[in-house]
Structure 1
Amino acid sequence: METAQRIARIWNLSGTPAKQKLCILVQSKPYYDSPEKSLVMITHNTLTGTYWFRHLTCIAVLITITLVITNISLNAQNATCLEGLDEFIEKGMADWGIPGLAVSVVKDGEIIYAKGFGVRKLGDTAPVDEHTVFGVASTTKAMTVTALGMLVDEGKVSWDDRVRDHLPWFELSDPWASDVVTVRDLLSHRVGIGRMTGNRLVFMPNRDRKTILDHVRHQPFEIPFRSGYLYSNMMYMVAGLVIEAAAGISWDQFLPERLFKPLGMNSASVSITSICEHDNAAWPHQEINGTIQTIPWRNFDNVGPAASVNASAMDMASWMLLNLGDQGEYKGERLVSRQVMNDIFQPQYAFPSADPMHSNFTAYALGWNSGFYEDHRIFQHGGATDGINSIIVLAPSLDMGIFVAGNLFCQLRPAIVSHILDRALDIERDHDWHELFHKQYMAEKETLFEARKKIEEARVTGTVPSLKPEAYTGMYHDPVYDDLEVRISNDGNLELCFWGDPDMVATLEHWHFDTFLASWRNPAMREKFVTFDIDHEGRASRLNVIFTLRPDMIEVGLFPSGYTRTVSYERQSNQLQYKQ
Structure 2
Amino acid sequence: MPGHSKLRIIRSGARFGLVAMLLATPVAAYAPAALTAQDAHSVGPAQTVTTLLARSEDPFAGFEAFVTGVMEDWTIPGVAVGVIRDGEVLLTRGFGYRDLEAELPVTEHTTMAIGSNSKSFTVTLMGMLVDQGKLEWDRPVRDYLPDFRLHDEFATAEMTPRDLVTHQSGLPRHDNVWYGRTGSRAEIFAKLRYLEPNASFRSRYQYQNLMFMTAGYLTERITGEDWDDLIEQRIFGPLGMERSNTSVRDTPTSGDYAVPYLLRDGTLTRVPFRNIDAVGPAGSVNSNVTEMLAYIQAHIDGGVFGGHRLLSEETSANMQQPQFAMPGESEFTELGQASYGLGLRVSSYRGHKMVAHGGGIDGFISSMSWLPRERIGVMVLTNRSGDMNPVPAMIAYNVYDRLLGLDPVDWNARNLELRDEQRARAEKTRREQEAKRVSGTQPSHVLADYAGSYEHAGYGGMAIQVRDGGLVIVYEDFELDLEHFHYDIFRITSPPNIVPVTGLVSFTTNADGVVGAVAIPFEPNGTDIVFERAGS
After the TM superposition, which residues 144-293 of structure 1 pair with which residues of structure 2 at under 5 Å, given as runs? 144-197=122-175, 202-203=178-179, 205-276=181-252, 279-293=255-269
Contact 2:174 2:522 in 1 (8 A): no
Show CA shifts across 1:12-46 (max 9, x none).
Answer: xxxxxxxxxxxxxxxxxxxxxxxxxxxxxxxxxxx
Secondary structure of the structure 2 residue equivalent to 1:398: coil
Amino acid at match of 2:314: Q
Secondary structure of the structure 2 residue equivalent to 1:287: strand
User: Aligned match of 2:532 in 556, 570, 577?
Assistant: 570
- Alignment pair present for 1:426 and 2:401: no
User: Aligned match of 2:508 in 503, 528, 533?
Assistant: 533
Q: Show the counterpart of 1:302.
A: 278
CA distance in 2, matches of 1:523, 1:188: 25
User: Aligned match of 1:513 in 483, 487, 494?
Assistant: 487
Q: Show the counterpart of 1:406.
A: 382
- CA shift at 1:496, angstroms? 2.2
Structure 1 length as normaliser, TM-score? 0.77
CA distance in 2, matches of 1:279, 1:460: 55
Q: Show the counterpart of 1:339.
A: 314
Provide closer, same or farther for how the CA distance between residues 156 and 92 of structure 1 changes in structure 2, counting only shifts above 3 A. Answer: same
Show CA shifts across 1:247-274 (max 9, x none).
Answer: 2211111001110111111221111111
- CA shift at 1:329, angstroms? 1.9
Instruction: Judge which range, 391-400 or 209-218, deviates more.
Output: 209-218
After the TM superposition, which residues 8-407 of structure 1 pair with which residues of structure 2 at under 5 Å, given as runs? 75-76=53-54, 80-197=58-175, 202-203=178-179, 205-276=181-252, 279-324=255-300, 326-351=301-326, 361-407=337-383
User: Aligned match of 1:545 in 520, 525, 536?
Assistant: 520
Contact 2:167 2:205 in 1 (8 A): yes
Amino acid at match of 2:133: G
Secondary structure of the structure 2 residue equivalent to 1:389: strand
CA distance in 2, matches of 1:146, 1:278: 24
Provide closer, same or farther for how the CA distance between residues 259 and 451 of structure 1 changes in structure 2, counting only shifts above 3 A. Answer: same
Q: Show the counterpart of 1:495.
A: 472
Contact 1:204 1:212 in 2 (8 A): no
Contact 1:144 1:305 in 2 (8 A): yes
Show CA shifts across 1:161-210 (max 9, x none).
Answer: 32112111111112232122110111111121220117xx8546211111
- CA shift at 1:303, angstroms? 0.8
- Name the count of aligned residue pairs: 478
- Alignment pair present for 1:416 and 2:395: yes
CA distance in 2, matches of 1:441, 1:77: 39
Amino acid at match of 1:208: S
Amino acid at match of 2:244: A
Q: Show the counterpart of 1:474.
A: 452
Instruction: Judge which range, 540-549 or 208-217, deviates more.
Output: 540-549
Give the greater-gyration-radius structure (CA). 1
CA distance in 2, matches of 1:88, 1:366: 33
CA distance in 2, matches of 1:365, 1:328: 15
CA distance in 2, matches of 1:260, 1:404: 19
CA distance in 2, matches of 1:95, 1:204: 30
After the TM superposition, which residues 446-457 of structure 1 pair with which residues of structure 2 at under 5 Å, given as runs? 446-456=424-434
Contact 1:416 1:434 in 2 (8 A): no
Secondary structure of the structure 1 residue equivalent to 2:105: coil
Secondary structure of the structure 2 residue equivalent to 1:397: coil
CA distance in 1, matches of 2:360, 2:97: 19
- CA shift at 1:533, angstroms? 1.3
Contact 1:139 1:392 in 2 (8 A): yes
Secondary structure of the structure 1 residue equivalent to 2:104: coil
Contact 1:505 1:521 in 2 (8 A): no
Provide closer, same or farther for how the CA distance between residues 453 and 373 of structure 1 changes in structure 2, counting only shifts above 3 A. Answer: same
CA distance in 1, matches of 2:448, 2:507: 13
Secondary structure of the structure 1 residue equivalent to 2:513: coil
Show CA shifts across 1:102-136 (max 9, x none).
Answer: 11111010211111111113333011111111111
Amino acid at match of 2:487: F
Secondary structure of the structure 2 residue equivalent to 1:276: helix
CA distance in 1, matches of 2:126, 2:369: 21
Amino acid at match of 1:417: A
Contact 2:180 2:478 in 1 (8 A): no
Secondary structure of the structure 1 residue equivalent to 2:381: strand
- CA shift at 1:387, angstroms? 2.4
Show CA shifts across 1:133-157 (max 9, x none).
Answer: 1111110011110011111111111
- CA shift at 1:361, angstroms? 4.6
Query: Percent same amino acid among aligned pairs?
Result: 33
CA distance in 2, matches of 1:145, 1:161: 16
Secondary structure of the structure 1 residue equivalent to 2:150: coil
Secondary structure of the structure 1 residue equivalent to 2:175: coil
Give the unaligned 5+ runs of structure 1. 1-73, 550-562, 575-580
Provide closer, same or farther for how the CA distance between residues 354 and 380 of structure 1 changes in structure 2, counting only shifts above 3 A. Answer: closer
CA distance in 2, matches of 1:507, 1:348: 42
Amino acid at match of 2:394: A
Instruction: Judge which range, 450-459 or 107-116, deviates more.
Output: 450-459
CA distance in 1, matches of 2:501, 2:130: 43
- CA shift at 1:280, angstroms? 2.1
Q: 1 or 2, which has the higher helix percentage? A: 1
Q: Show the counterpart of 2:44.
A: none
Between 1 and 2, higher relative CO (CA 8 Å, sep ≥ 6) is seen in 2
Secondary structure of the structure 2 residue equivalent to 1:463: coil
CA distance in 2, matches of 1:307, 1:360: 26
Provide closer, same or farther for how the CA distance between residues 525 and 194 of structure 1 changes in structure 2, counting only shifts above 3 A. Answer: closer
Contact 1:347 1:363 in 2 (8 A): yes
Q: CA RMSD in A?
A: 2.7
Amino acid at match of 1:104: G
Provide closer, same or farther for how the CA distance between residues 526 and 234 of structure 1 changes in structure 2, counting only shifts above 3 A. Answer: closer
Contact 1:81 1:421 in 2 (8 A): no
Contact 1:271 1:310 in 2 (8 A): yes
Q: Show the counterpart of 2:40.
A: none
Secondary structure of the structure 1 residue equivalent to 2:279: helix
CA distance in 2, matches of 1:461, 1:278: 56
Contact 1:215 1:482 in 2 (8 A): no
Contact 1:392 1:404 in 2 (8 A): yes
Secondary structure of the structure 2 residue equivalent to 1:541: strand
Show CA shifts across 1:464-515 (max 9, x none).
Answer: 32211221122222222222222345x56433222xx2x2333333333222
- CA shift at 1:433, angstroms? 2.2
Provide closer, same or farther for how the CA distance between residues 177 and 564 of structure 1 changes in structure 2, counting only shifts above 3 A. Answer: closer
- CA shift at 1:516, angstroms? 2.3
